[in-house]
Every structure is written in structure tokens, then in C-alpha cells.
Structure 1
């Protein structure tokens, strides 16, 4: 099955795959008929979605008690489609809401705030405490629109994205009159970063060196 269908080998480590075949091996299932293509993509899929909704029900019940954050981020999938995903996050229980294909759309503050607003309506505005996005100017502007529309909800820039930008700025610090002190203190980071990138590119661009690196780093 793996070879014929081109299935990835790590599927054999999937706990559902293991439990399925373990159960089948320990049962008398003569006469069992495998689900068809149409059954898998219709009835069984709908049943599984209903099952997931039941499993998530207790998380949704906690939203009113604890409040939640709408967390959003943009990314690109394997087909190079620009996507924006939305999650409802409460303590210890993040829940994926949806991913929106923004292909062909102009992603200005109005477009982004409209997507955020739809996510807020989906979970209930009274349950939402804050909206978290990266701190790009367009996201900040969209966050301000949300704060105007929902005065009890505040926008928060993503801390990880902020730290990432700060580290990038430190690594790419420029020597100008306005940042003389910063350049003097942080220039060594740029030097080390340049050396690391040189070594990395040298190894990656030479197959023998890369083979030696892979062999010795295991």
C-alpha cells in the first residue's frame, strides 16, 4: 500500500494508523467492507467533523468564563497561495478556526479587519478579550479598526514577531551617526552572523562537504 500509493513512510508512526491495524488484527471482521471513495469524502467526513465538534465543545464552554484571544498570522502554502489563519486561544486550549485564501485580494487594513471581525462574530464578541497579530503597519491599522468597532477588545502585537524583528535589526545594524553607540556595542553580532552564513553556504553548496557534515552531525 505504501509503495503503490506513494504514501509517506512516517504514516506508519501515526497513532491512528497503529491503533487501526492493531484493532483489526485482534478482531474477527469477516465480511467487513472497506469504505468507498464517495463514503470517505461525504458521510464519514461529516461524521468526523461532528465528532471533532463534540470534542471541542468543552473548550468553547470555557470561552465565556476565561475569555479568549483571536490570534492571526499570514503564511504561504506549498502551492504559493497567500493564506491568513485564525485561531481562538484560551489558556491551555488553542483551537484552529479557519484559514482564508487571500489570493488576488488587496490585503489592506479594511480587508484584514473584516476577516478579523468575521472571526470575532464566529466565536461571539462577548467572549473575545484581545486580537493578536504581527506588528506590520497594516495589521496595526486593522487592529485599531477592531478596537473602534469593539471597544472592549484590544489589539496586541505578537511578542515573538517583535523579538524576531529586533534580533534581525541587531544582526543588520548599520553604522550611522544616529546609532554610533548601538553599532559599537552590537557590531560583533553582525560579524559572527556573516561568518556563520559563509560557513553554512560553503557546506550547502559543496556536496562532499555536506555529506561529511551530515555523517558527523548524527
Structure 2
């Protein structure tokens, strides 16, 4: 459940800052009502969730599966940027590229649609 949004544009997003904002939400909801925190895999988010786990040992942290898959797809679909590219693997997984392009088109459609903004207000 999303409790709030915070515009942090121009601010340094340290692990401590992220942890502080998430802890505020945990306190608002009541720590006994929070089971899990999901973030992306960035090192500052990993640090934030380590701080949260130290304060609230019953709350689990899970890296976002979508973010993890997105990183994997970028490596599969753009082997030129990967110096450890394996042509056999790229050829076997090439079908993923067209699916990834379709998914990107759908994501862009949703993100550019005005009704998406209504959900966050």
C-alpha cells in the first residue's frame, strides 16, 4: 500500500535519508502492521533496509523483482554494452528482445496516459 509520495528531486538519497522516510511510514501504519518493505536494488536502498531491519527485526526487506528483471533484460537485450557478452546465450535469448520492446511500449503508453496521474492524487 502506498502511504505517501515525497519529491526528493535535488536531494542526496542516502541510505539514512531513505530509512528515515520509510521508518516514518512504518510508525504511521504501526510496525506490527508492516510485514515487508520492497525497494529497488540500489546500494542506498539496501543500506536503508538494513537500518530498518536493525530497528524492526520482524519487518522483511525484499528487492523489487521488477527492478531485478529489468536489469537482467537490459543485459540480455543490449549485449554490445556487456564486455562479457556470450554470443550463444544472446542468440538463445534473442526472442526476449521483441517481448521487451512490446512491454516498453505498453509501459510508455500507461506512463503517458492522463488517468495514471489520477491514481496518485
Q: Answer whether TM exceeds 0.5 for this pair.
A: yes
Larger relative strand fraction: 1
SS of residue matched to 1:97: coil
SS of residue matched to 2:4: strand
Structure 1 distance, partners of 2:67, 2:29, is 25
Structure 1 distance, partners of 2:57, 2:89, is 42
The answer to whether the aligner puts 1:149 opposite 2:55 as a matched pair is yes
Structure 2 distance, partners of 1:154, 1:138, is 17
Structure 1 distance, partners of 2:47, 2:18, is 9
Higher relative contact order (CA 8 A, sep 6+): 2
Structure 2 distance, partners of 1:185, 1:103, is 39
Query: Over aligned residues, Cα RMSD in angstroms?
Result: 2.3
| TM-superposed deviation, 1:179 | 4.8
SS of residue matched to 2:3: strand
The answer to whether the aligner puts 1:108 opposite 2:14 as a matched pair is yes
Larger Rg: 1
Q: Number of residue pairs matched?
A: 96
Give the counterpart of 1:135 among 41, 46, 64: 41
1:43-66 deviation digits (Å, cap 9, x = unpaired): xxxxxxxxxxxxxxxxxxxxxxxx
The answer to whether the aligner puts 1:189 opposite 2:94 as a matched pair is yes
| TM-superposed deviation, 1:160 | 1.1
- What residue number does 2:105 align with? none
SS of residue matched to 1:99: coil
Structure 1 distance, partners of 2:9, 2:31, is 27
- What residue number does 1:58 align with? none
Show structure 2 runs of 5+ residues with no match. 102-121
| TM-superposed deviation, 1:189 | 2.7
**Normalising by the residue count of structure 2, what TM-score does the alignment of the two structures yield?**
0.68
